[in-house]
Amino acid sequence: MSSLELDDFTDLIERPDGGVRRDAEARRERLVVPPGSLGRLDELGEWLAAAQGAVPVRPVERPRVVLFAGDHGIAERGVSARPAGGTEQLVRAVLEGAGPVAVLARRLQVPVRVVDMAVDCPPDAFPEEVVRHRVRRGSGRIDVEDALTAEEAEAAFRAGVAVADEEADSGTDLVVLGDVSVGGTTAAAVLIAALCGTDASVVTGRGGLPIDDLAWMRKCAAIRDALRRARPVLGDQLLLLATVGGADLAAMTGFLLQCAVRKLPVILDGVVAAACALVAQRVAFRAPDWWLAGHDSGEPGQAKALDRMALEPLLDQGVKVGEGLGALLALPLVRAAAALAAELPERPEGGDGKEPDAEGA
């Protein structure tokens, strides 16, 4: 019997401070730049102020990329353009600074943390700080068996909570959340289809390394088979993650919920992060108020999940590589919103907030 009570998160998670957000909105009305002229940057600045509980908003000074890694047995069914068990190479590229997210993070001076939850390789393949939360080697093939045992799902979820606490305690002020996996988008699509009550074809995408039509049909069939196993356990979110999720997805779900508890804002990456966020929303309905959707990955499952949570992507650059890259691209936008909200001067007393015309300039 599990000692983990997911219902506790409903009581522990508060919304970002509404009073502070109203103060931020009032301050925005007083700035020299007319209201509405900065578009969505205004909304971002006000959201961040509420999340921080501070007006004017503080700059984002200690962001961090956190990537949860794992292999998925469903990749054996030919649903990915990458070989089953290929996550080790992807993780190694990130750790060695050669992966796309590592390159961009280096340029933006943002540290990257990789958490191996279920990569299909020996545990000594990576440094201790990467593998110390690992639950197992690979996750089960979800069309015919459970991804995890109940005990493994709880351990993975608790690991995600622990990582969130570690980040909050270390002073991280914003997280860019992504995954490194092979087969992860298939598991994510199953979770989204199950929670949204849709058919497999509605959520089946082409993945980070796009697949051809035959592989897409295999993926759709695999998702449909896994959905039959998911529907009977929809009422228990931890059991759902054990049945058709994976250790990395269970950890990401726990991580997202605990970040909301600790009032640590998160930028979500692609469909895997969106699927975990959707599960977390079912646990605690206020949790999505602490998250931003970094970008539109083009995966139909991501669009479905974000729509259900009323989250609108910040960017649409067609980035499909995963690994947190699309969400990291959105970080400069969030930082820009914070800078403008904090540093633009207020207009003089008695000013009407209108910009001068050509004659009065």
336, amino acid identity: A
Name the band, by pLDDT with cuts 50, 70 and 90, for residue 320.
confident
Range of the domain at 192: 63-333
| Residue 133 within a domain | yes
Q: Residues 239-285: pLDDT tens digits? A: 999 999 999 999 999 999 999 999 999 999 999 999 999 999 999 99
| Residue 152 within a domain | yes
pTM: 0.94
Residue 324, pLDDT > 90, answer yes
Residue 25, pLDDT > 80, answer yes
| Residue 174 within a domain | yes
Q: How many domains does the chain have?
A: 1
Residues tagged active-site: 323
Residue 333, pLDDT > 50, answer yes
| Residue 261 within a domain | yes
| Residue 266 within a domain | yes
| Residue 170 within a domain | yes
Q: Residues 138-179: pLDDT tens digits? A: 999 999 999 999 999 999 999 999 999 999 999 999 999 999
Tell me what pLDDT residue 140 has. 96
Mean pLDDT of 127-138: 96
DSSP 3-state of 256: helix
65 phi and psi angles, rounded to 5 deg: -90, 125
| Residue 37 within a domain | no
b/e per residue 40-79 (b: at least 16 CB within 10 A): ebbebbbbbbbbbeebbbeebeebbbbbbbbbbbbbbbeb
| Residue 56 within a domain | no
CATH code at 119? Answer: 3.40.50.10210
Q: How far apart are alpha carbons 291 and 260 in whole angstroms?
A: 8
Q: Residues 279-304: pLDDT tens digits? A: 999 999 999 999 999 999 999 999 99
